Amino acid sequence: MKLVLYFHPLASFCHKVLIALYENETPFTGHIVDLMDADSRARFIDVWPLGKFPVLRDESVGRTIPETTIIIEYLDQHYPGAHRLLPADENERLDARLWDRFFDLYVQVPMQKIVADRLRSDGERDPRGVADARATLMTAYDMIDRHMASRTWAIGKSFSIADCAAAPALFYAGIVAPFSDTHPNVVAYFERLVERPSFKRVIAEAQPYFQFFPFKDSIPARFLDG
């Protein structure tokens, strides 16, 4: 087996796949992509022209696998570990895929919009887009709060791909648009995610890079300690 993951330790979508890999202790070689470095960027564009990471490369079959959801499904199909992140039961699997999409599209994507806007120069900012992203996040928090009132993990009792998506999404979203005083079930769910060893490891590995996060001053102190 020769799995190579192109990623960056600070990037939230990369965290999603790292959690899946760590949950099953799947062996892989990490290849850090620095998009600010012209050579590193050019080499990565050769692998995946859209320049979005993470991307998995399975050298044993010469296959490139982009998109976090597809990467986790690929790992589940071809390198299954003790912990199946796509449940065997059809109804549960549909639920896992639904909540995976939910956390990607309605938490990660609006969070990314807010972060990306902070990096723009004054004349390039998009206040309307940021306001829309904040509104989407609030609706998503309301929905997650209702959903998690009766569940341990996103689809119930077992940890799945949906929780891999939820952990980094809520981590960064909670920094740019806090839910701590308004959504108690989101808070309780997030605390369970934070205690998960796979996610703890991801956060520990991201710590040296938090200084580059545009909202670094709002990162809770407990995540900054080693």
Ligand X SMILES: N[C@@H](CCC(=O)N[C@@H](CS)C(=O)NCC(=O)O)C(=O)O
89 vs 126, which CB is nearer to ligand X? 126
Contact region with ligand X (CB under 6 A), list: 11-19, 92-100, 121-129, 138-146: 11-19
Contact region with ligand X (CB under 6 A), list: 50-58, 95-103, 129-137, 146-154: 50-58
Let me know if 226 is exposed, middle or buried by CB neighbors in 10 A (0-12, 13-18, 19+): exposed
Q: Is 67 in the site for ligand X (CB under 6 A)?
A: yes
Indicate which single residue of 22, 28, 44, 53 sits in contact with ligand X (rule: CB under 6 A): 53
Q: Quick check: bond before 54 cis, omega within 30?
A: yes
Q: Is 11 in the site for ligand X (CB under 6 A)?
A: yes
Secondary structure class of 50 (helix, strand, coil): coil
Q: Is 214 in the site for ligand X (CB under 6 A)?
A: no
Q: Is 51 in the site for ligand X (CB under 6 A)?
A: yes
Q: Is 12 in the site for ligand X (CB under 6 A)?
A: yes
Q: Is 206 in the site for ligand X (CB under 6 A)?
A: no
Q: Is 100 in the site for ligand X (CB under 6 A)?
A: no
Cα dihedral sign for 131, 161, 72, 202? positive
CB 182 within 8 A of CB 141: yes
Let me know if 220 is exposed, middle or buried by CB neighbors in 10 A (0-12, 13-18, 19+): exposed
